[in-house]
Chain A
Amino acid sequence: MPPSVAADDAPSEQQDAPPPPPATEATRREPDTAPEQDRERAQTPKVKTENLSFWYDEGDTQALDDITMAIQPNEVTAFIGPSGCGKSTLLRCFNRMNDLVQGTQMEGRVLVDGEDIYQKADPIMVRRRVGMVFQKPNPFPKSIRQNILWGARINGFTGDEDALVERSLRQAAIWDEVNDRLDASAYGLSGGQQQRLCIARALAVRPDVILMDEPTSALDPQAAAKVEETITELKKRYTIVIVTHNMQQASRISDATAFMYLGWLVEMSHTEKLFTRPEHQRTEDYITGRFG
């Protein structure tokens, strides 16, 4: 199935718009998009789900219903939707964090670089390739330096630790603020700094994909802006998937946006298109604040 198509099971009674045209590369892209980016589009997706359904509580509670989507490399993809719509659950399927929850069931496939991460891959190896940043900054109660090195060390890193610390902190745009106190406790940092430290910590393991679960919702606007800048910078090297409640944030930083509702993927397309010309009434209602 091509990327960005609306889920077939989306509630249809709300659809005032004509049925979505077949979502090809051409219809999805804005005509004025740089040709360079078009070439990127043509690449194989970084992460793909095929008919993914997910249940909690031994199958009693369905959280995801037949999700098929594709995440393009070196882009920021945002998941939006009202609370409980399944966007965090979907995100956590991408690095098998849901394995840690007891009593869950899954159907369908999740592919990273074409490989089914639930079939062959060891969850530990999956999480080394697909890093994660959480809603609340969760640095370890250790020094800034030890926080960066923690993941690298358990993954058998033997290279130049100082260089790794500096590179990771620079990529997360926090080096200038902390380079004079690397051995101080991470708990002495502000919330925004802690969150960027957590991003740096994830980068130190050298993942390809970084999942972010509402990474700025616990931060004040200035700190959030810093983190957003960092994310924009990071997409040059990484593929980023971000769950957000903040639609301005999604429109500011993401290239593609998926709108989810009650476990369905209602609509997924180029961010500008989704926010200006949504294909589904429910998407429009949500982004204009009529519900949610």
Chain B
Amino acid sequence: MEPSEAQPATAVPPDVDDGLSNEDADLTKNILHSPGERAIEYALGACALISVLTTLGIAAVLIVESVPFFAEVSLTSFFGDTRWTPEYAEQHFGIWPLLAGTLMITALAAVVALPLGLMSAVYISEYAPRSVRTWLKPALEILAGVPTVVYGYFALTFVTPLLDSFVSGLSTYNALSAGLVVGVMIIPMVASLSEDALQAVPRSMREGGYALGATKIEVTSRVVVPGALGGIVAGFILALSRAIGETMIVTIAAGQQANLTADPTQSIRPMTAYIAQIASGDIAQGTIVYDSIFAVGLVLFLITLGMNLFANDFVRRFQERY
């Protein structure tokens, strides 16, 4: 989930270093004969390998640990049942209520973060005078540094009472408040990645638009944003997979009842919240309830993995080479 991987934008234009690349390769070849250089290369490679191995390890643990769960709960009932009631006398393990909860949080977050994030990026990249730009982008990135537990209690103790004054029938724990706050949390990520993509659209492209008699908004909306689309969409997807994985806010503010509902004023239970609540509760290891968190974790992992792969693929296909 490295954001930088999916930024098409920051790639060096292919024509910049064309003449040198062959020469560089030759130079490198000679240097690598020295054993010291080789040791450095291996040490750096090992560092890079750690994160790859960790990811593979997590995937392996999730798969191995969810085997006992799927021995007792068939895939048919896991994907066919519409109830998720592991803590009740009558246990049901249908993933849909948790999945729907996650999707609702993500959708609400998207409604908040995508337009606001993109418009902030357009302002910072295209409109803000240099003096504003120098402090606005760092200020926005501070938002990304706020601990999510703070956002969680902000949702529960400030946003929910605020919404309660004009949304009727709002539960104390509800999807609406949590989803909106998750959206606020990912605005900086959307804005920052989109802004990088906008900045990567070459100046010559903007000048081409202006020289044809375009106004600023025409150049922005019909040249710059379309030109940056690959990077913007990749940023959107990465930010949304961050929203899907967000745990603390939903654990605090969204509730514990796994309702299969489309009503955002009700309490819901996203997958991450379920995992956190079970893992931190007094459920004994080796029980089916305990094992279920690995199965849910596996589903979560596959969703975010799929989104990140899609984002990378999208960038590769849509990336404009200037």
Contact = CB atoms under 8 A, between A and B. Distances in A.
B208 A128 contact: no
Contact of B130 (A102, A125, A132, A198): A102
Interface residues of A, number: 26
Nearest to B318: A141
Contact of A128 (B206, B213, B320): B213
A136 interface: yes
Nearest to A129: B213
Contacts of B215: 124, 154
Interface string B120-141: 0000000001100000000000
A91 to B, nearest CB: 11
Interface stretch (B56-64, B222-230, B267-275): B222-230
B210 A97 contact: yes
Contacts of A95: 211
A154 B202 CA distance: 21
B218 A134 contact: no
Contacts of A154: 212-215, 218, 222
Contact of B213 (A124, A138, A140): A124
Contacts, number: 67
A138 B204 contact: yes
Contact of B210 (A100, A136, A139, A205): A100
B205 interface: yes
A37 interface: no
A46 B40 CA distance: 66
Nearest to A124: B213
Contacts of A132: 207, 211
B225 to A, nearest CB: 12
A210 B303 CA distance: 54
Nearest to A131: B211
B207 A125 contact: no
Interface in B215-269: 215, 218, 222-223, 226-227
A151 B210 contact: no
Nearest to B320: A141
Nearest to A205: B212
A198 B210 contact: no
A151 to B, nearest CB: 3
B321 interface: yes
B211 A136 contact: no
A97 B211 contact: yes
A78 to B, nearest CB: 20
Nearest to A133: B211
A138 B208 contact: yes
B222 A127 contact: no
Nearest to B129: A102
A145 interface: no
A127 to B, nearest CB: 4
Contacts of A202: 211-212
Contacts of A286: none
Given A141-B226, A154-B218, A201 B212 contact: yes
9 cross-chain pairs, A with B, having the tightest CB-CB distances, nearest first: A151-B212, A128-B213, A132-B211, A138-B204, A141-B320, A127-B213, A138-B208, A154-B218, A154-B214
Contacts of A205: 212-213
B223 to A, nearest CB: 6
A275 interface: no
Given A134-B208, A138-B208, A150 B222 contact: yes
Contacts of A201: 208, 212
Interface in A198-226: 198, 201-202, 205
B213 A134 contact: no
Contacts of B218: 154
A175 interface: no
Contacts of A134: 204, 207-208, 211
9 contacts: A95-B211, A97-B210, A100-B206, A131-B211, A139-B208, A151-B213, A151-B214, A201-B208, A205-B212
Contacts of B223: 140
B213 A125 contact: yes
A59 to B, nearest CB: 17
A187 interface: yes
Interface in A116-162: 124-125, 127-128, 131-132, 134, 136, 138-142, 150-151, 154-155
Contacts of B214: 124, 151, 154
